[in-house]
Amino acid sequence: MRKIFAILTITVLLSSCEKEISIDLNSSDPQIVIEGNITDAPAPYFVKITKTVNFSEGNNYPPVSNALVIISDNTGIADTLTETTAGLYKTNILYGQPAKTYYLSVTAEDKNYYAVSAMPKKTNLDTLHFTPFGGLSGGNSYAAIPIFADPISYGNNYRFLLTVNGVLAKSYIVLNDNVNNGLINQRPIFDHVSKIKKGDSVTVEMRCIDLNTYTYFYTLSKIAGGGPSGSTTPSNPPNNITGNKALGYFSAHTTQTRTQKVQ
């Protein structure tokens, strides 16, 4: 009985020594976020500029208006974008083309931001296959396999957007050819939330991206725990925006889409 009483006494004493620690989640200064995409699909293309918010403010990111946004290419064409709605800027004359390099210039709130992205040549997405995936729901789910022939040259990078029954998956899915260079792709893609079942309609968008864009979304996949080895310590992913510090990315990429029903 004395031993039990002694243990209880020690527990109470230790509990009374605990110190309350408060973490300030609202102390960060707002940062500019730039998200820009140029593709080989028909124009127009868009650049979105917003600001970060403190943790307690939810996901309502304030737009940044009255910015000067210019996109040019390596042939000398320069396009000054038009602000269509608050914080959203649209191209007017530019069109995306593989093997061209694109330059982004943004002046917002008396600060300057720059980015460069080279649009790769297009690798054709031939079709989709589906394979049972035992890691989800005891083997009742499927993973999609985008079938394409990786070029013989090294350095090809891909991003995939997965949509199941009209709902876009939130995972960041990227592949490169470090292992399967020059081969037919047999690597599956999947999302832990958007589980693919028989009878589902699955759409895969394949983007051929440059190395900077691959690194950005690969890092995001690790932060979000979407990678095969789990998550890492949260941090801002590296991006290709120079000049003043900003979050986000600028990507020139090809795009193609395949939709197929799981049989």
pLDDT of residue 106: 98
What does the pLDDT look like over 85-126, one tens digit per residue?
Answer: 999 999 999 999 999 999 999 999 999 999 999 999 999 999
Position 112 scores a pLDDT of: 98
**Which residues of the chain, if any, have pLDDT below 70?**
1-28, 54-59, 134-139, 225-235
Torsion of CA 73, 78, 83, 86, to 10 degrees: 40
Domain architecture of the chain: domains with CATH:
32-118 (2.60.40.10), 125-235+254-261 (2.60.40)
**63, 88 contact by CB (below 8 A):** yes
pLDDT attached to residue 87: 98
pLDDT for position 47: 98
Residue indicated by tokens 């690798």? 123
The pLDDT of residue 193 is 83
Those residues whose C-beta lies under 8 Å from the C-beta of residue 146, and which sit 6 or more positions away, are 125, 128, 160, 185, 189, 204, 206, 258
User: Could you report the per-residue pLDDT of 135-166, keeping only the tens digit for each?
Assistant: 544 557 899 999 999 999 999 999 999 999 99
Cα 124 to Cα 48, 97, 158: the distances in Å are: 28, 15, 11
